[in-house]
Structure 1
């Protein structure tokens, strides 16, 4: 078997996920109540038998570093590791990474000092489950120099993706970044009949979109990075690879979500609460790993819960109703509170008794959600203090709003940032 090194890109500023990325990088954003986005690619690597992993970080990376160091510990005999490669000034480079390809280029010494055959490059902010051994097999059987994972998509989705055209062997022969005109779409059209011959039932999805998952021969990747100035994989390096190298597609047709916007992030979490969710964290053979916190069981007193996920260490008061929602670790929710279509991220710590007494004297709400609240279609970030009788509903159906000091609205979703304090009877 070839030796494979995995590089996970820690993401840029994450402006489209703001304010969730105000104090953390995209891969560190909590998802599914108790996980972080970075847990997805790392778990996929481990479940695929790949345990030598570098995570390349730059922006707001402290919480990401802390999570990785507290979670991924390998025994000394396996040779496995998850190691951080943080952006740094060197004698050759004094600036920040200029893009995904530039980040990998600057870290070439770390994956060439040992004898690796293949380099697997992954994003740190996607939700999917994949056995990378299948992709490695596709790469080797076709004697490819580079292989890219591809997903069939419909026309509207194609306009926002990098789209490939392939020949009868699955080799990539053309690529168009975000084709919006009929002429460009026609150039990268793949007939559903042809996809069916390759084992994909495409239906009304006649375009093959890049998933941003790349597998390179190490020598090919080093040569391309060293001889060029490309700063981004999707926009520059991958199109260049098509011209002079054998680039193969690895077709994938299961759930995959790029967590790029607040709307997509909110939907991905609420979808987890369905009876048959499109992505299921409870998947025995290929689990998603995360930090073990050793929290107590959640305590629910006379609570009505429908189609929801309740994480560890929560306390939910009598008479409350939780519907189609995800409740994160250590969440404290008062009595007679209704929460619908909402992701409550919970808290980092339990408040000590002396802090609770200070809250009573200062009339500051405790960490969590107060009593008699109604919260719908929202995201409440960690350690927020929501007082009693608060209403968060966006009844006016506002799509975007940035001017309030304590909240923002993105894609009609109300987002309460981390550490926010909302006084009693606030209305949003």
Structure 2
């Protein structure tokens, strides 16, 4: 599973890129208690943010502001160490927005002086917390050709999973006719009742239009999905861009927002490579078998039997531990999200310190089970 990152030189792209990397990721529970969601490890030494960073570099985009917010220290250490060599001096700027940004659009507004300083014609806004492989240059070219104020990158997901995204409907040209941010009852694609078209959290804006949207009369606009994109749709100035299929013939884009989706996305890389890993990694670094994943620094002895588990960073699993076979037992000690069980060192320490007799297991109330929906 080697990944060879090649940076393009794109003199035709006068684009400022804003990477939104401040998300807390509350549905990842203990994994994001002290880390932002983009900083969570994925497939060995990679972090979730590295997928967006690899896409930016491969696309030849050379002016980048990274807007961090929750628990930014890891990203402020990791990103320069991992990615500074791909940018000219001063062309990757990390901005700590703790206690400052009030929404996604507000994060861009607070960093607008840098966009103006670069004199960029377009602004690419990218979420830092998804797993996918994409060249942004064709998206930017399609945006320029359309004459739209904003172009939204989109993918198609089952309608049952669409309520966690911005959901839209378009005409045959791709113009967005309606946009609903995280609707309780997502509208399906006309003629396809099982699927919905959703925003990938990737937008290309005309810089002049975005400046007016951020600093015009409606200065209450704080969020792209709730306010800025719907405003462009209402003006008839919003276009969609379908994520192209990869080598498999299918698209691959995953929001790893829950423990279940994080583990299952790891398994997508077992035996195949739906998206390029930003850094070389081997299965032996993180895949334990039986549908289980170990994160960096975790020690799992061969005598442990873990099924559909995520082992948190730095966790030392005791010999002979069995997890993932008895939900009632798992609920006593660990966090369970649908078919996934999270194991942390704190959970193991508590289990060791407080041994519940077998006779009490049936009566014990599960205290850590998660009801999250992927």
What TM-score range do you get, normalising by the shorter chain? 0.7 to 0.9
Alignment of 1:245-394 (within 5 A): 246-253=237-244, 254-273=251-270, 275-281=271-277, 288-289=278-279, 309-311=283-285, 326=287, 339-347=289-297, 368-370=299-301, 372-394=303-325
Superposed CA deviations along residues 304-324 of structure 1, whole A, max 9, x for unmatched, are xxxx8113xxxxxxxxxxxxx
Of the structure 1 ranges 153-162 and 164-173, higher mean CA displacement relative to structure 2 is found in 153-162
Q: How many residues align?
A: 336
User: Does the CA-based 8 Å contact 1:149-1:212 persist in structure 2?
Assistant: yes
- Shift, 1:179, TM fit: 4.2
Query: What does 1:99-110 correspond to in 2, within 5 Å?
Result: 99-110=103-114
| 1:386 partner SS | coil
Deviation at residue 156 of structure 1 after TM alignment: 1.7
Aligned equivalents of 1:75, 1:346: Cα separation in 2: 25
CA contact (8 A) 1:7 1:120 kept: yes
In structure 2, stretches of 5+ residues that fail to align are: 1-11, 245-250, 362-374
2:260 is paired with a residue whose SS is: helix
Select 1:85's aligned residue among 63, 70, 95.
95
Query: What is the TM-score with the length of structure 1 in the denominator?
Result: 0.71
Shift of 1:152: 2.3
Shift of 1:207: 2.9
Residue of 36, 48, 57 corresponding to 1:25: 36
* C-alpha contact (below 8 Å) 1:11/1:123 kept by paired residues: no
Residue in 1 that maps onto 2:132: 128
Cα deviation code 1:37-56 (max 9, x no counterpart): 01000100110111222111
> Who is 1:241 aligned against?
232
Aligned to 1:222: 211
8 Å contact kept, 1:151–1:251: yes
Deviations 1:140-190 (A, max 9, x none): 111111100111233323344322122232211222234455xx72xx633
TM superposition shift of 1:102: 1.4
CA distance in 2, matches of 1:72, 1:32: 18
CA distance in structure 1 between the aligned counterparts of 2:323 and 2:252, rounded to whole angstroms? 31
Instruction: Tell me the equivalent position of 1:199.
Output: none
Cα drift, residue 340 of structure 1: 2.1
CA RMSD of aligned residues (A): 2.9
- 1:177 aligns with 181
Shift of 1:388: 2.0
Structure richer in helix, relative to its length:
2
Contact 2:154 2:199 in 1 (8 A): yes
Match of 1:7 in 2: 18
2:327 partner SS: coil
Q: Alpha-carbon deviations, 1:7-40, whole Å to 9, x = none?
A: 1111332110111101211111000112000100
Higher relative CO (Cα under 8 Å, sequence separation at least 6) belongs to 2
CA separation in 2, counterparts of 1:376 and 1:33?
Answer: 19
Larger Cα-atom Rg: 1
TM-score normalized with structure 2 length: 0.81
Q: For the Cα contact (< 8 Å) 1:154–1:205, is it kept in 2?
A: yes
* SS of alignment partner, residue 134 of structure 2: coil
1:280 is displaced (CA, Å) by 4.4
Note the residue ranges of structure 1 that are not aligned, 5 or more in a row.
89-94, 193-203, 282-287, 293-307, 312-324, 328-338, 348-366
For residue 120 of structure 1, report the CA deviation from its aligned partner: 0.6
Asked whether the 8 Å contact 1:163–1:175 carries over to 2, the reply is yes
- Cα pair distance change 1:168/1:396, threshold 3 Å: closer
Which among 337, 347, 359 is matched to residue 410 of structure 1? 337
Provide the C-alpha distance between the structure 2 equivalents of 1:105 and 1:152, rounded to a whole number of angstroms: 30
| Pairing 1:164–2:138 present | no
Find the residue that maps to 2:189 and give its secondary structure. Answer: coil
Residue number in structure 2 paired with 1:189: 189
Contact persistence 2:299–2:314 (CA under 8 A): yes
Q: C-alpha displacement at 1:376, in angstroms?
A: 1.6
Q: Which runs of 4+ in 1 moved over 4 A?
A: 418-428
| 2:141 counterpart SS class | helix
Q: Residue 113 of structure 1: SS of its match in structure 2?
A: helix
* Cross-structure match for 2:159: 155
Counterparts in 2 of 1:21 and 1:418: CA distance versus 1, 3 Å: farther
